[in-house]
Amino acid sequence: MMKSQSAVRATPLSVQRFGRSFCPKCNDMLLAPAASEFVTESLIRHFWSCDTCSHEFQTSVKFPALSKRRRDKALS
């Protein structure tokens, strides 16, 4: 699916939520990941492909783990 060359970056949720994603090779702004993967309840991985230079890479977003009580409340 993706080229073997990748860069992994984990950023705080607040930065990911309000920041913009840029290609690490050509610095072009990226609007949305090509795909996303739910890894665990506290980790989402995004796969990116730059339309300008064709560079492919991935980023990860880490969420704080929810306590059992908060998780049960969120699901009800």
Pick the closest to residue 59 from 43, 75, 71, 41 (CA basis). 43
Pick the closest to residue 5 from 43, 61, 58 (CA basis). 58
* pTM of the entire predicted model: 0.61
H helices of the chain, in order, are 13-18, 68-75
The whole-number pLDDT of residue 71 equals: 67
What letter does residue 2 receive in the DSSP assignment?
-
Interval 28-75: pLDDT, tens: 999 999 999 999 988 999 999 999 999 999 999 888 877 777 767 777
* Distance of alpha carbon 47 from alpha carbon 27, whole angstroms: 16
* N residues, the chain: 76
